[in-house]
């Protein structure tokens, strides 16, 4: 999996590409923890390039969501491919996250 760290409207964005599974969660976990620790509680994870996501990856995102909300922020996910969206729906986590069609919408959504 490829990880690109960027920002939009001064909000940290993590852009992921490829297979997001148990083997790949560690750097994402670290990034989420670092950002929250640095006081950036509003985070965006762009899943545009992700074609496969498993329950470990989802759990990592849930952890990030909880960390950011505890600091008064939120974690927005955006640009989900169809198979990834299906899995969010399957686990009903589409009800837990705010999901946006674009990165721009995710930034504006805070």
Rule CB under 8 A: is residue 55 a binding residue for other proteins? yes
Total residues contacting other proteins by CB under 8 A comes to 24
Find the shortest distance in angstroms from Cβ 40 to other proteins.
20
Contact pick of 71, 96, 98, 109 for other proteins (by CB under 8 A): 96
- Cα-Cα-Cα-Cα dihedral sign, residues 68, 85, 92, 29: negative
Contact pick of 8, 17, 21, 110 for other proteins (by CB under 8 A): 21
H-helix segments, 20-108: 25-37, 55-70, 82-90, 103-108
Bridge partner residues of 50 (DSSP): 18
């Amino acid at each position: 999996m490829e990880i690109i760290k960027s920002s939009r409207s001064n909000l940290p964005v993590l852009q992921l590409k490829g297979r997001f599974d148990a083997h790949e969660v560690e750097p994402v976990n670290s990034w989420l923890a670092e950002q929250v620790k640095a006081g950036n509680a509003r985070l965006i994870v762009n899943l545009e390039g992700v074609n496969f996501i498993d329950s470990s990856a989802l759990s990592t995102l849930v952890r990030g969501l909880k960390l950011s909300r505890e600091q008064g922020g939120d974690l927005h996910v955006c640009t989900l491919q169809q198979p990834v969206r299906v899995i969010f729906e399957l686990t009903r986590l589409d009800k837990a996250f705010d999901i946006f069609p674009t990165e721009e919408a995710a930034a504006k959504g805070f």
